């Protein structure tokens, strides 16, 4: 079933959204992107004459009630965004009466799902090495099913619009779907958009395809790097990874971030790229700093000749040109992870140059997908989010989808699990 083909009139819909919004110390929302992202789905259901039960997690309360992570703090913001009153259920597993009392057009927001360990379905307070772990895990999986069944009992139809958690098999993101038949479960609009964007990258590749992978470490990106090697024409690796590659090739990297146990892996990637005919583009020069702070002293140097006590915090001018060339000619672009420590304005120029090149390629007809926490923060910082084709709300979920993994949240609805 698709959300466009379903008439919610007179129905109660339980919708999993990602309202895990950042809050300041007073509980005020500092970025409401995720709330805005879910509005098309929520508004469609209300406009049809349906009643809404909205559920989400916030933060990592690890199965315990934590008032600092209560969704009651965002109730008024959700009401304002929807333009209608929002009721609140202070215990997500005891909301049957509140759900039953809902009339068409009314909205009920459930308390943080992760106040219950059943949401994530991982046993708490027991070590993986403990001989009793397997039994505890099995028991928790049973409790997870019961928890999902309770949530399902509130509604006639289930909608999943939380792409950010689609790579998790949690009660509200996947297990709950088993309690609805195929005509009464569907992806929301945000989820559909995300899935289409990934499809565009994976099945509709217009060449050349350039991927830019940045961020801090090779180790966390290796899965996606190896996978992309099968697909891309140009693979730009930047950010902190640069120095592991530079050292692996015999360079001196000073005190730059470097994974000494990944030097062989770096050489492996270089060899694989060569064997597959992938143009691997690595930084040649960098902006080195004498301290990890915005107003540190800096010098431009080769990534393979960084003085003792200095560390590379951004790409240098030659590298900016090199990267821009590989980006500007591309017809498909994926960007994940900054080129430098973009949080410091003085080391954001490299990431800005990457973003500018992507914007230019997009204006010339390329499809560009930007995703994964920090690169999204980057395009937002530069005010360029509306000048790329698609900015994904998913971090881990996006990378797993691009790696070609089936996401449990999507499989649970489409039935291809």
Catalytic residues: 34, 217, 373, 396
Per-residue exposure over 254-267, b if at least 16 CB sit within 10 Å of its own CB, e if not = bbbbbbeebbebbe
Q: Is 215 in the site for ligand AMP (CB under 6 A)?
A: yes
Q: Is 239 in the site for ligand AMP (CB under 6 A)?
A: yes
Q: Is 346 in the site for ligand AMP (CB under 6 A)?
A: no
Shortest approach of ligand AMP to residue 285 CB, angstroms?
A: 13
Q: Is 240 in the site for ligand AMP (CB under 6 A)?
A: yes
Looking only at residues 245 through 284 of this chain, which bind ligand AMP when binding is defined by CB under 6 A? 257
**Judged by CB, which is closer to ligand AMP: 289, or 410?**
289
**What is the distance between the alpha carbons of residues 23 and 30, in angstroms, rounded to a whole number?**
6
Q: Is 394 in the site for ligand AMP (CB under 6 A)?
A: no
Shortest approach of ligand AMP to residue 294 CB, angstroms?
A: 12
**Judged by CB, which is closer to ligand AMP: 190, or 246?**
246
Q: Is 340 in the site for ligand AMP (CB under 6 A)?
A: yes
Asked if 40 and 185 count as a contact pair (C-beta separation under 8 A), the reply is no
**Judged by CB, which is closer to ligand AMP: 194, or 374?**
374
Task: Please name the residues in contact with 248: beta carbons below 8 A apart, sequence gap of 6 or more.
Answer: 263, 264, 266, 267, 270
The one among 137, 217, 405, 414 contacting ligand AMP by CB under 6 A: 217
Looking only at residues 307 through 326 of this chain, which bind ligand AMP when binding is defined by CB under 6 A? 312-313
Q: Is 298 in the site for ligand AMP (CB under 6 A)?
A: no
**Judged by CB, which is closer to ligand AMP: 44, or 304?**
304
**Judged by CB, which is closer to ligand AMP: 50, or 350?**
350
**What is the distance between the alpha carbons of residues 114 and 95, in angstroms, rounded to a whole number?**
15
Q: Is 337 in the site for ligand AMP (CB under 6 A)?
A: yes
- Please provide residue 332's backbone torsions phi and psi, each rounded to the nearest 5 degrees: -130, 130
Whole-Å CA distances, 308 to 72, 256, 284: 51, 10, 18
> Per CB under 6 A, which region of 185-193, 216-224, 302-310, 404-412 contacts ligand AMP?
216-224
Name which of 372, 26, 48 is nearest 221 in CA terms. 372
Name the strand (E) or helix (H) holding 13.
Answer: strand 12-16
Q: Is 409 in the site for ligand AMP (CB under 6 A)?
A: no
The one among 50, 338, 371, 409 contacting ligand AMP by CB under 6 A: 338
In the DSSP assignment, the letter for residue 23 is B
Q: Is 408 in the site for ligand AMP (CB under 6 A)?
A: no
Residue where the block lists tokens 């590749």: 205
- Please provide residue 299's backbone torsions phi and psi, each rounded to the nearest 5 degrees: -150, 150
**What is the distance between the alpha carbons of residues 259 and 221, in angstroms, rounded to a whole number?**
13
First and final CA of the chain: distance in angstroms? 16
The number of helices, as runs of H, and strands, as runs of E, in the chain is 14, 17
Residues that bind ligand AMP (CB under 6 A): 215-217, 220, 239-240, 257, 312-313, 337-338, 340-341, 343, 374
């Amino acid at each position: 079933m698709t959300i466009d083909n379903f008439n919610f009139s007179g129905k109660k819909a339980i919708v999993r959204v990602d309202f895990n919004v950042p809050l300041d110390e007073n509980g005020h929302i500092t970025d409401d992107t995720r709330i805005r992202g879910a509005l098309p789905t929520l508004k469609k259901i209300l406009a049809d004459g349906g009643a809404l039960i909205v559920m989400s997690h916030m933060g990592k309360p690890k199965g315990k009630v934590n008032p600092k992570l209560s969704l009651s703090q965002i109730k008024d913001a959700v009401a304002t965004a929807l333009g209608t009153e929002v009721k609140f259920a202070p215990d997500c597993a005891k909301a049957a009466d509140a759900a039953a009392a809902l009339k068409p057009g009314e909205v009920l927001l459930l308390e943080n799902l992760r106040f219950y360990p059943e949401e994530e379905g991982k046993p708490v307070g027991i070590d993986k090495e403990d001989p009793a772990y397997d039994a505890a895990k099995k028991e928790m999986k049973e409790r997870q099913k019961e928890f999902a069944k309770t949530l399902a009992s509130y509604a006639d139809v289930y909608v999943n619009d939380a792409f950010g958690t689609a790579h998790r098999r949690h009660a509200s993101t996947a297990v709950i779907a088993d309690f609805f038949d195929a005509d009464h479960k569907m992806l929301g609009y945000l989820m559909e958009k995300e899935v289409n964007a990934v499809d565009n990258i994976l099945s509709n590749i217009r060449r050349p395809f350039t991927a830019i992978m940045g961020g801090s470490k090779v180790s966390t990106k290796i899965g996606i790097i190896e996978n992309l090697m099968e697909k891309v024409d140009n693979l730009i690796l930047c950010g902190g990874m640069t120095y592991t590659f530079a050292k692996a090739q015999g360079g001196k990297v000073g005190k730059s971030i470097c994974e000494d146990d990944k030097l062989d892996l770096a050489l492996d990637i270089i060899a694989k790229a060569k064997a597959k005919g992938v143009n691997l583009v690595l930084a040649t020069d960098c902006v080195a700093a004498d301290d990890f702070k915005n107003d540190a002293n800096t010098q431009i140097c080769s990534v393979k000749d960084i003085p003792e006590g200095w560390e590379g915090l951004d790409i240098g001018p030659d590298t900016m040109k090199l990267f821009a060339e590989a980006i500007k000619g591309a017809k498909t672009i994926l960007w994940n992870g900054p080129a430098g420590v973009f949080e410091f304005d003085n080391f954001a120029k490299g990431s800005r140059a990457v973003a500018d090149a992507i914007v230019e390629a997009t204006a010339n007809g390329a499809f560009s997908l930007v995703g994964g926490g920090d690169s999204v923060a980057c395009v937002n910082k530069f005010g360029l989010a509306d000048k790329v084709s698609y900015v994904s709300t998913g971090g881990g979920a996006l990378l797993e989808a691009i790696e070609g993994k089936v996401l449990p949240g999507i499989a649970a609805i489409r039935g291809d699990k």
